[in-house]
Amino acid sequence: MNHSAQTKPDYERELRRAGVRITRPRRVILDILAATEDHPDAMEIFQRASTIDKSISLSTVYRTMKLLEGMGAIHRHAFEGGPARFEQASGDHHDHLIDLDTGDVIEFHSNRIEELQDEIARELGYEIVHHRLELYGRRRKASARK
């Protein structure tokens, strides 16, 4: 079926280990997530799933996403106005730059920023559990280069 197992985490194994049943709907959704490079929302996942198995319901997509999120297998993002979007948790931590014109999501990471965040939290007497850094912008016009 699919060859390159490299970037695709073995969710089934993880789920089994967590003691959850591997049902047909879950298998379909898991396959979709494993093959996904972007940040789809529940409806998109539902639609992709429907092309494989018409009987899968949107509720099951939501329930499965919640399950996977609880296991730490995926991350849920709530970008400005709009439904939650999901992505595999397998890769390294990163933040997001959202293209306001296209809705594209670009990932980036800055150790320096993370350090500064920790520092700030510490100074305020807090310990960061998680954070959210989203940049909303638009492509710079070529002429505006400097």
Partner DNA sequence: AATGCAATTGCAAATCGTTTGCAACTGAGG
Partner DNA sequence: CCTCAGTTGCAAACGATTTGCAATTGCATT
Query: Which residues of this chain interact with a second copy, rule CB under 8 A?
Result: 78, 80, 97, 99-100, 106, 108, 110, 112-113, 116-117, 120-122, 124-140, 144
Q: Among residues 36, 134, 35, 66, which one has the least CA distance to residue 94?
A: 134
| CA–CA dist 102, 140 (Å, integer) | 14
Beta carbon nearer to a second copy, 58 or 121: 121
Rounded CA gap, 123 and 108, in Å?
26
* Least distance in angstroms from the C-beta of 111 to DNA: 30
Element (H, E) at 71: helix 58-71
* CA dist., res. 62 & res. 43, Å (int): 9
Of 13 and 122, nearer to a second copy (C-beta) is 122
Phi and psi at 52, nearest 5°, equal -95, -40
Among residues 7, 47, 51, 57, which is the contact residue for DNA, using CB under 7 A?
Answer: 57
* CA 146 to the chain's CA centroid: 34
128 binds, among a second copy, DNA, none (CB under 5 to 8 A by kind): a second copy
Site membership for DNA, residue 110 (CB under 7 A): no
**CB-nearer residue toward a second copy: 3 or 146:** 146
Residues 6+ apart with CB under 8 A from 6: none
Site size for DNA (CB under 7 A): 27
Task: Tell me which stretch binds DNA (CB under 7 A): 14-22, 92-100, 104-112, 135-143.
Answer: 14-22
Question: Residue numbers of the site for DNA (CB under 7 A)?
Answer: 16, 20-26, 41-43, 53, 55-60, 62-66, 78, 82-84
